[in-house]
Amino acid sequence: QVQLQESGPGLVKPSETLSLICSVSSGSITNYYWSWIRQPPGKGLEWIGYIHYTGTTNYNPSLRSRVTISVDTSKNQFSLKVSSVTAADTAVYYCARILEGYGPTFDYWGQGTLVTVSS
């Protein structure tokens, strides 16, 4: 079955850009939509945005000005960039596959990676 794995720096300085990659294995990134979701420590889930393998994107309006999601089909990966980060961006970041045709339905998830924003 499909497996997802997040990777990237665990510590980012305030005002800098957070960058993460989600690697997809045991399945192709094509023909699906893929998403990023985050969870601040001890708090609830927040949808960040999604990307289709063709490059179509949609972002949470509250993060749209700072977020970019891109896809590299040749590497079976998609990525997340969040600019001008603050302590409020400290969270576990998950990547997930979207079950197409059912709106915000995430059928496969990565294990998550903690990103801390601190100087």
> Residue holding tokens 């961006």?
89
Is 4:28 a contact under the CB 8 Å cutoff?
Answer: no
Of 32 and 94, CB closest to another protein: 94
For another protein, how many residues bind (rule: CB under 8 A)? 22
Q: Which stretch binds another protein (CB under 8 A): 18-26, 54-62, 67-75, 82-90?
A: 54-62
Per CB under 8 A, 114 contacts another protein: no
Residue 68-97 contact track with another protein, rule CB under 8 A, x = bound:
--------------------------x---
Is 97:36 a contact under the CB 8 Å cutoff?
Answer: no
Per CB under 8 A, 99 contacts another protein: yes
Which of 26, 44, 88, 118 binds another protein (CB under 8 A)? It is 44
Of 16 and 39, CB closest to another protein: 39
Provide the sign of the torsion angle of the four alpha carbons 105, 50, 108, 101, taken in this order.
positive
Per CB under 8 A, 42 contacts another protein: no
With DSSP H G I counted as helix, E B as strand and the rest as coil, what are the percentages for the chain, rounded to 5?
A: 5, 50, 45
Is 51:70 a contact under the CB 8 Å cutoff?
Answer: yes
